[in-house]
Chains A and B, each alone.
Chain A
Amino acid sequence: MGSTQLPPGTEETLAATTAAAAAPGEPVEMVQLLGPDGTLGSDPVFSDYAKRIDPEKLRVFYTDMARIRRFDQEATALQRQGELALWVPLTGQEAAQIGSAHASQPQDYIFPTYREHGVALVRNVDLAELLKQFRGVSNGGWDPRENNFHLYTLVLAAQTLHAVGYAMGIQRDQKLAAAADSTDPKAAVIAYFGDGASSEGDVHESMVFAASYNAPVVFFCQNNHWAISVPTEVQTKVPLANRAKGYGFPGIRVDGNDAIAVHAVTEWALEHAREGRGPVLIEAYTYRVGAHTTADDPTKYRESAEEAAWREKDPLDRLEKYLRTEGLADEAFFDQVKADGDELAKYVRSTTHGLEVPDIRDAFASVYAEQHPLIAEELAWFEEYSAGFESDQEAAN
């Protein structure tokens, strides 16, 4: 959506306001439009982008954030009831995910980590598919090509390099398309990762490659403040957004609990990438309100006061306040959102119970794309072995 032309002076303003390096401990500029109290502020660059968001779109943001939070609660409950082996909650990060995902276009390709349930929702992935890998019936589930939403990658930061390579492929495709006078829309890639993963070497290498080849990729870092039990301060002594300066591309810290600002900044960054201006790093400053996973216990490593302080900045509350104050949504709307959420929860619960357990033969079939003698030999052995049990059974009968 939106124009592909950057407003005059955007690059200069960004250079002055966002890429300035802060010394360790110094405050860093953070783009914020919708404050925790629900009032809309302004920004010299991004207010223009925020103006593109019409009231209907704002209601969609709210609806999606509420739905994914409800989904998150349901998945957590399913794990507690033994229906899932593990769950990775996203509560607190709804604005970062819904806001950024809505800035993407269908032709963009997205590489998530394993917590991007909100992004999956916006990309129309069937949420029941997400639960497959947490129920132990699949390592993936959905077809990434259907929604240009890649499979979850569990090895931290590995996908950031895949994103850059994919973006390098887009660059080559676009050259061919330009030569053929194609009118296909230009595309970019989003690489999601977190503050913990930012310490991985693959993040560094991906930013070096992206900068060297001017790849159309947006690095979207959700700084949720905790890598399981280790705080961001152990990962970095400078604001993560400032690291972009070292690679030679723009870095922007945005209030990750402000869906409007996240959307505006991501839309700017994606346009920047699609137009061939190179990569952008966005640090969405947010907070993981719940545990890292259902196997974790945050009371062992952080203060409840900290959690309470972040709850005051809740992404849903502030958008609800804004929608109510501005008269953009009425009680019936919020009632409907709640009803939709309950409906989704019901769907997810019933679908989870019905998820089919695969046959190990499917695993044999997918190791290689082409025929492989060892796979054939081991499968044949397994068939014979299994048949032995069946004939024993028949004999017993």
Chain B
Amino acid sequence: MATMTIAKAINEGLRASLTNNPKSLLMGEDIGHLGGVYRVTDGLIKEFGDERVVDTPLAESGIVGTAIGLALRGYSPVCEIQFDGFVYPAFNQITTQLAKIHSRSLGKLTVPVVIRIPYGGGIGSIEHHSESPEALFAHTAGLRIISPSNAHDAYWMIQKAIECQDPVIFFEPKRRYWLKGEVDVENAGLSEDPFKAHVVREGTDATIVAYGPLVPVALAAANAATEDGRSIEVIDLRSISPLDFDTVEASVKKTGRLIVAHEAPTFGGIGGEIAARISERAFLHLEAPVIRVGGFHMPYPVAKVEEDYLPDIDKILEALDRSLSY
């Protein structure tokens, strides 16, 4: 067991992949000598050289497009998109090419590309640096989308993403980069399958589903609710596509109430998909409508008001109250 931050855990996970898989390589803007704007790739260029830790030109479509070409030649590229709001120039390559090449070739070609994206708000940053665009990608078949919420998962999930033969978008909760946790570098344990949800807190009265940066918030809300005598279950989704509905369904059948929280705007978001599926699968077990807690239908607001925008403990508690009093 070692204690490390999420950023360090991803760094160590990348180091392990670069060591174990000679065909893996990292590419992105400023990821070499600088070690990335968040230092997630710190020190890797010294260890593996500039052929395997590649500082690219400043062009996101170019990064993903050339990564596809490298994958077609048998490599396992890991791209870093510097910030969530800068992924859009690569959107065409991701959705029309990366997601579709396996299908287009009827399975003859695989493109095991990983795209790392620091995402989410809460860091007081300027425009385009705080977004949560995961639903845009979840809507595209052919992609897998995962997001760790703790250091142990971060260490293992990045390695599993690189091993996966499908393209994986790896959303990193940037405001939790410095969150420390215990990492077992010997045993993945429950992290073995990156596409399964985890029940991270057991409870009987209601279920909160969250992922990435909001898992600690959901846990804090659940703890706060114990003061009112409520027993709240919390699920860390971990994977957004595929989405582990079985785990959510089992929890809802036990608690009868479901809150889904994410930073991304509520409208058209993952919460809506979960609400719809759960209403199909567990309608008669629901004691209240599924309630979503998420961003408003607006461009991510300026930093000075982002607290009003972001789901926090109080917003989740308010949703719990509505559900429990329904």
Q: Which residues of A contact B (CB under 8 A)?
A: 109, 138-140, 143-145, 150-151, 153, 155, 158, 160-170, 172-173, 175, 201-202, 205-206, 208-209, 212, 362-363, 365-370, 372-374
Contact = CB atoms under 8 A, between A and B. Distances in A.
A362 B89 CA distance: 32
Most B Cβ at <10 Å: residue of A140, A160, A169, A374: A169
A160 B69 CA distance: 9
Given A172-B51, A208-B59, A167 B69 contact: yes
Given A144-B108, A151-B104, A161-B93, A367 B141 contact: yes
Given A369-B102, A369-B107, A161 B61 contact: yes
B103 to A, nearest CB: 5
A170 B93 contact: no
Given A208-B62, A209-B56, A166 B73 contact: yes
Given A175-B51, A205-B62, A369-B166, A169 B75 contact: yes
B66 interface: yes
A236 to B, nearest CB: 20
Contacts of B164: 370
Most A Cβ at <10 Å: residue of B62, B141, B241: B62
A368 B77 CA distance: 18
Nearest to A368: B166
Nearest to A171: B51
B106 interface: yes
Contact of B70 (A165, A206, A363, A372): A165
Contacts of B101: 151
Contacts of A167: 69
Interface string B83-127: 000000100110011001111111111101000000000000000
A163 B72 CA distance: 9
A162 B243 CA distance: 30
Contacts of A140: 104-106, 108
B57 interface: yes
A209 B141 CA distance: 28
B165 interface: yes
A153 B166 CA distance: 20
Contacts of A168: 66, 69-70, 73
Given A202-B61, A367-B102, A162 B72 contact: yes
19 contacts: A139-B104, A140-B105, A144-B105, A144-B109, A151-B101, A151-B109, A155-B96, A162-B69, A163-B69, A168-B70, A169-B72, A169-B73, A169-B74, A175-B51, A201-B61, A365-B107, A372-B242, A373-B195, A373-B244
A368 B142 CA distance: 6
Contact of B243 (A144, A173, A366, A374): A374
A197 B136 CA distance: 26
A193 B56 CA distance: 23
Given A155-B97, A166-B70, A166-B73, A161 B65 contact: yes
A168 B246 CA distance: 42
A165 B102 contact: no
B53 to A, nearest CB: 13
B93 to A, nearest CB: 6
Contacts of B310: none
Contacts of A206: 62, 65-66
Contact of B69 (A138, A169, A369, A373): A169
A165 B65 CA distance: 7
Nearest to A191: B69
Interface string B149-188: 0000000000000001110000000000000000000000
B108 A143 contact: yes
Given A172-B51, A374-B243, A158 B109 contact: no
